[in-house]
Amino acid sequence: MGYAAPVKDMMFVLKELAGLDKVAQLPGFEEATPDLVEAILDEAGKFAGGVLAPLNFSGDREGAKWHDRAVTMPAGFKEAYTQFAEGGWTALDCHPEFGGQGLPRVVSSAVREMWKAANMAFSLCPLLTNGAIEALELCGSPEQKETYLPNMISGKWTGTMNLTEPQAGSDLAAIRTRAEPQGDGTYRIFGQKIFITYGEHDMAENIVHLVLARLPDAPEGVKGISLFVVPKYLINADGSLGERNDAWCVSIEHKLGIHASPTCVMAFGDHGGAIGTLVGKANEGLKYMFIMMNAARYAVGLEGLSLSERAYQQALAYARERVQGRAIEGSSAPVAIVRHPDIRRMLMTMKAQIEAMRALAYVVASAHDAAFHHPDEAERKRNQAFVDLMIPVVKGWLTETGNEIAYLGVQIHGGMGFIEETGAAQHLRDARITTIYEGTTGIQANDLIGRKIAREGGATLKAVVGLMQQTIAELDQAGAELAGLKGSLAKGVAAVAEAGTYIATNYAADVRAVAVGAVPFLKLMGIVSGGWMMARAALVARAKMAAGDADPFYPAKVATAVYYGAHILPAAAGLAEVIVGGGASALAIPEDQL
Amino acid sequence: MGYAAPVKDMMFVLKELAGLDKVAQLPGFEEATPDLVEAILDEAGKFAGGVLAPLNFSGDREGAKWHDRAVTMPAGFKEAYTQFAEGGWTALDCHPEFGGQGLPRVVSSAVREMWKAANMAFSLCPLLTNGAIEALELCGSPEQKETYLPNMISGKWTGTMNLTEPQAGSDLAAIRTRAEPQGDGTYRIFGQKIFITYGEHDMAENIVHLVLARLPDAPEGVKGISLFVVPKYLINADGSLGERNDAWCVSIEHKLGIHASPTCVMAFGDHGGAIGTLVGKANEGLKYMFIMMNAARYAVGLEGLSLSERAYQQALAYARERVQGRAIEGSSAPVAIVRHPDIRRMLMTMKAQIEAMRALAYVVASAHDAAFHHPDEAERKRNQAFVDLMIPVVKGWLTETGNEIAYLGVQIHGGMGFIEETGAAQHLRDARITTIYEGTTGIQANDLIGRKIAREGGATLKAVVGLMQQTIAELDQAGAELAGLKGSLAKGVAAVAEAGTYIATNYAADVRAVAVGAVPFLKLMGIVSGGWMMARAALVARAKMAAGDADPFYPAKVATAVYYGAHILPAAAGLAEVIVGGGASALAIPEDQL
């Protein structure tokens, strides 16, 4: 049940597909040379495999425990977190001004993939802290930055995001938490928040809550939401910890998975008001949240990839070791089940999609780096448009696929997969939240077809389709071995183009029918984008082989890409059919006949 | 979190698609008139919804408890079981000679769907008992029948099937449990069995274990397996309970789901030998097991349907009640989420597949009745061939789809779906075993392409394709409303025909490559068979409407069939592509590069 970070494939993707060399040419990223990056990944891999992975199963069994408004983490978590912070892992891509290491996002994403694969429940603590850090970096006052960022970046304090309320779910317009100005620049916060990840725990000395709330004179709906910073312990003028603030964890949820991650109900102001300060401008909270949301959605997408990799490693180890049944073509003795064609098919389905997801995720992270750091404005804009288009795909497709892969991981284990001690079922349980939090797949898909495609008439999508067609043209030159992949990728890209045109053309006139195809389109985009990535990977691998590189990694990469073309891409045309032809039939039945 | 048995759709399928009237003409089934059957379903529905369903969640929370070789069932289970037996529900389709009611399988299948939907963990006890009853009915000696059947059919005693051993899994050739003849017609059994469902519990006064074991002189492998009956308490000559037998539950598993169903490790003969008698002939145990296996596989297929229905009812209720977000086309206030097109799509995906699965399952049960009871031998053979072809499809496709539907049920609940108190996650956890036990989907699929198709050159499959084409011809006469369904069903049937021909043609020469496509073919068969059923249903519904029937059930059935054509069938062509073109690529990579 261990985890070995797939550094080789990570480095391949970083260098050959995600343009690590170009990222290292961006201002501020000059130190991110391949050698340094590989050294970082090696170190992170050791920590992930050696410290975090062994706590994954025990953390699930034991779970976070709530007692008298405090949360006790499972055995080993506090010590692991201390080591994690001491190792500098909390500071990876944070701003150097406050102690961050300022590494590119494409590098920190690869490192984050490891934390999530090793121990998803643990990784949520630094994930949420990072979101809060980013919010304060972007929108905080100089004083707020000075007060909070150094300790958050060093890992001494952690952070949370308090959005959801019982009546609100993902509809932030319905938020009711109030913030009352005290006349001294501070506010008293009153309200209840739910689903607050790491809202309370015992791994760090303070917790910095970012809280959405309404000012007394705020307009209705999303235009009246402001963002506040509310620490668990108030901070004295000298930076030391002061009084306990009126922000309490009143219970934690009993969940399907990520048992070690406390999901808190937070009560603000039940005893006189939780003291906080306004972040940025009044009534601009939603805008700030949206800025962070891209990062959070991307990070959750990574969780789909990470759990897939973990499930794959475990299933592969089991398939190699478990001897059962004769070979289908006949064998003198029972064989390891990895020899059975259906087990092979499942393992290849896992492997091919994992490699495709990783490539897409890192390519998007690389574009994010360029969108923020490229000296040329047109390049920044172009990259930002690509990132904006792809974030819902990374979030939605990676997590949906992650669930399928964790499901296959259980299946490969047979009856043992259903026994909790085996550990395969945990990945399935943990994965189940990823298509839901930070916006369900449906919300991602509506964002994709509405804001990212229809609003701009499909312009960015068309540009991406153009890039995919360039890859198809390159495959055309690559001979018979890649002819099948070329054919299925070409069909897939045609399906994306057809469905994308349908969406851009019909969204305004018939939004309900078009929205029926939103999730199928998100999946189509994911499958075809993944095929595009695998095709690029195959072309690179073939070039390496042609240049005489005998590393067996390269022919395996080509074969995996061919598999992707033969097994994953064929679903594309059917999805386009559903999108273009399935709108009306989904809405036809009166609600009372459902 | 309740369950209301869908009697209306059940009766529609029984009467209009599964030929209940023809079944009632078979010798011995004359009493199974539509009125009687509907009365039975109504009564069963009351018991399922009123008694079993309320124990589903509490049974999961509490779980079966093991202590000192005994198992205590969760609160309420023992009482419910007593009521269940007193109601005659254990005897439904058993032989009248020993107290059974002798109802057709097509009727008992509809009733079983209810038990499984209401409380899958509970339903496994009568399911296993039924398997044991069937084995004894078919293969037991007159004395064994007299000794065991009346008390098993009345529900006074329950039964188990003891196949799997730690080293054996689904490979029965590896079984090591020994049976030593005592010279008095009895045997002493020694060995350990795992994954024994309801191997021990406190709901009935005796448990009748059917155990696979080897005689001292038995040949190696599957040809040396014999079947024994080994009661928990020995039976005195007067039929009363005697000594405790040496068959003990030494532990139960900690599982992902079906927590209320004790999955036992059974130790036979640790204290001198468990006393049993041989069932049927020596070394014929595997043959007897195969006879029962069809019934058990069919029953597990039903579980996929049942959990889908339960998950659907719960998700639909939540979607109607939960108000969140504005309508995508704009609305003055937040709306119930059932109004959101993606929620609609998920609900329709559940509903359409549930109705298709139910139709296929009952049609196969009806063919089973004809296969055993039709006076004409050719009809019996024809029906048996259909059943044999379809059993792996019912088992594999219904359970895989059941998992997808339970997954969607969680998704519709959003964040609440991940909280165990909501109950949606339980269906997902419970469903996860169904694609594994009684033979994994891979094992079903290999059975389908090997024994059921390749071995006979695809003859039965061709006959079924012919029936499907008849339905397509009827759709052709049905006008514009069904034109889309006709088109997608025709494409689907063509995909089945193409893939089936590929399998029949290439199986012998390239079995590994063909077997890579086994599970995709099973899914293709399921999807297209389901489309066939929905097309038949739509034709019946249209005829009712044309005849003036104003029941809104009929236009809803037509619309649901049209949805199936637009959303489910489009996957067929891609699956055929995978089957025909995906064999080599799955096997290309050396095992050490996985």
Residue percentage of chain A with pLDDT more than 90? 96
Q: Give tens-digit pLDDT for B132-158.
A: 999 999 999 999 999 999 999 999 999
What sign does the CA torsion over B63, B67, B70, B72 have? Answer: negative
What sign does the CA torsion over A285, A286, A287, A293 have? Answer: positive
Given an 8 Å threshold on Cβ–Cβ distance, is B345 in contact with A433? no
**Where do the CATH 2.40.110.20 domains begin and end in chain B?**
53-87+119-283
Given an 8 Å threshold on Cβ–Cβ distance, is B435 in contact with A329? no
Q: Give the number of beta-carbon pairs within 8 Å between A and B.
A: 280
Residue A35 distance to chain B (closest CA, Å): 24
Given an 8 Å threshold on Cβ–Cβ distance, is B170 in contact with A324? yes
Question: Which residue of A347, A404, A418, A486 is the best one to mutate when testing the B interface, meaning the one whose CB has the most B CBs within 10 A?
Answer: A418
User: Computed over its alpha carbons, how large is the radius of gyration of chain B?
Assistant: 24
Which residues in chain B have their CB less than 8 angstroms from residue A414's CB? Answer: 169-170, 436, 440
How is B173-222 classified by DSSP, letter by letter?
Answer: GG---EEEE-SSS-EEEEEEEEEEETSS-SSSSEEEEEEEEB-TTPPSGG
Residue-level pLDDT at A291:
76
Confidence of residue A273 (pLDDT cuts 50, 70, 90): very high
Residue-level pLDDT at B291:
76
Pairing outcome for strands A206-213 and A157-162: parallel
Residue B19: count other Cβ atoms within 10 Å of its Cβ.
Answer: 18
Residue percentage of chain A with pLDDT more than 70? 100
Residue A567 distance to chain B (closest CA, Å): 5
Which residues in chain A have their CB less than 8 angstroms from residue B171's CB? Answer: 324-325, 334
Which residues in chain B have their CB less than 8 angstroms from residue A449's CB? Answer: none
Q: Judge contact between B565 and B527, C-beta under 8 A.
A: no
Given an 8 Å threshold on Cβ–Cβ distance, is A562 in contact with B585? yes
Residue in A255, A435, A582 closest to B566 by CB: A582
CA angle A250, A192, B314 (to 5 degrees): 85
Residue-level pLDDT at A141:
97
Q: In angstroms, how far apart are the furthest CA atoms of chain A?
A: 85
Given an 8 Å threshold on Cβ–Cβ distance, is B171 in contact with A325? yes
Residue in B436, B565, B567 closest to A414 by CB: B436
The pLDDT of residue B539 is above 80: yes
Residue B151 distance to chain A (closest CA, Å): 31
Given an 8 Å threshold on Cβ–Cβ distance, is A344 in contact with B586? yes
Question: Which residue of B171, B344, B557, B569 is the best one to mutate when testing the A interface, meaning the one whose CB has the most A CBs within 10 A?
Answer: B344
- As a whole number of angstroms, the distance between CA A303 and CA A124 comes to 10
Given an 8 Å threshold on Cβ–Cβ distance, is B328 in contact with A446? yes
Q: Give tens-digit pLDDT for B266-316.
A: 999 999 999 999 999 999 998 998 877 888 999 999 999 999 999 999 999
Q: Give tens-digit pLDDT for A167-177.
A: 877 788 889 99
- As a whole number of angstroms, the distance between CA B494 and CA B517 comes to 17
Residue-level pLDDT at B294:
85
Threshold 0.90, pTM exceeds:
yes
Given an 8 Å threshold on Cβ–Cβ distance, is B567 in contact with A560? no
Q: Give tens-digit pLDDT for A483-518.
A: 999 999 999 999 999 999 999 999 999 999 999 999
| Nearest Cα residue in chain B from A335 | B171
Residue B559 distance to chain A (closest CA, Å): 6
Residue A476, SS3?
helix
CATH number of the B53-87+119-283 domain: 2.40.110.20
The pLDDT of residue A51 is above 80: yes
Tell me the residue length of chain A.
594
The pLDDT of residue B166 is above 90: no
| Nearest Cα residue in chain B from A556 | B589
Q: Which residues of A are catalytic?
A: 438
Residue B210: count other Cβ atoms within 10 Å of its Cβ.
Answer: 28
Residue-level pLDDT at A525:
98
Residue in B441, B566, B578 closest to A566 by CB: B578
In this prediction, residues A178-206 reach a mean pLDDT of: 97
Which residues in chain B have their CB less than 8 angstroms from residue A555's CB? Answer: 593
Residue-level pLDDT at B457:
96
Given an 8 Å threshold on Cβ–Cβ distance, is B403 in contact with A407? yes
Given an 8 Å threshold on Cβ–Cβ distance, is A574 in contact with B577? no
Q: Judge contact between A386 and A364, C-beta under 8 A.
A: yes
Residue-level pLDDT at A47:
98
What's the token pair of residue B183?
A: 């010279």
Residue that has been written with the tokens 């494939």 in this structure: A9
Q: Judge contact between A533 and B563, C-beta under 8 A.
A: no
Given an 8 Å threshold on Cβ–Cβ distance, is B582 in contact with A562? no
Q: Give tens-digit pLDDT for A88-136.
A: 999 999 999 999 999 999 999 999 999 999 999 999 999 999 999 999 9
The pLDDT of residue B1 is above 90: no
In this prediction, residues B356-364 reach a mean pLDDT of: 98
Residue percentage of chain B with pLDDT more than 70? 100
Q: Which residues of B are catalytic?
A: 438
Q: Judge contact between A357 and A401, C-beta under 8 A.
A: yes
Which residues in chain A have their CB less than 8 angstroms from residue B338's CB? Answer: 591, 594
Q: Judge contact between B319 and B343, C-beta under 8 A.
A: yes
Q: Give tens-digit pLDDT for A283-332.
A: 999 899 887 788 899 999 999 999 999 999 999 999 999 999 999 999 99
Residue A9 distance to chain B (closest CA, Å): 12
Residue-level pLDDT at B292:
79
In this prediction, residues A391-407 reach a mean pLDDT of: 98
Given an 8 Å threshold on Cβ–Cβ distance, is B325 in contact with A574? no
Question: Which residue of B343, B577, B579 is the best one to mutate when testing the A interface, meaning the one whose CB has the most A CBs within 10 A?
Answer: B577
Q: Judge contact between A163 and A214, C-beta under 8 A.
A: no
Backbone φ, ψ for residue A558 (5° rounding)? -60, -45
Helices (H), A71-225: 77-86, 105-118, 120-139, 142-153
Q: Give tens-digit pLDDT for B389-412.
A: 999 999 999 999 999 999 999 999
CA angle A166, A449, A366 (to 5 degrees): 90
Question: Which residue of A354, A411, A498, A534 is the best one to mutate when testing the B interface, meaning the one whose CB has the most B CBs within 10 A?
Answer: A411
Which residues in chain B have their CB less than 8 angstroms from residue A436's CB? Answer: 410-411, 414-415, 417-418
In this prediction, residues B94-111 reach a mean pLDDT of: 95
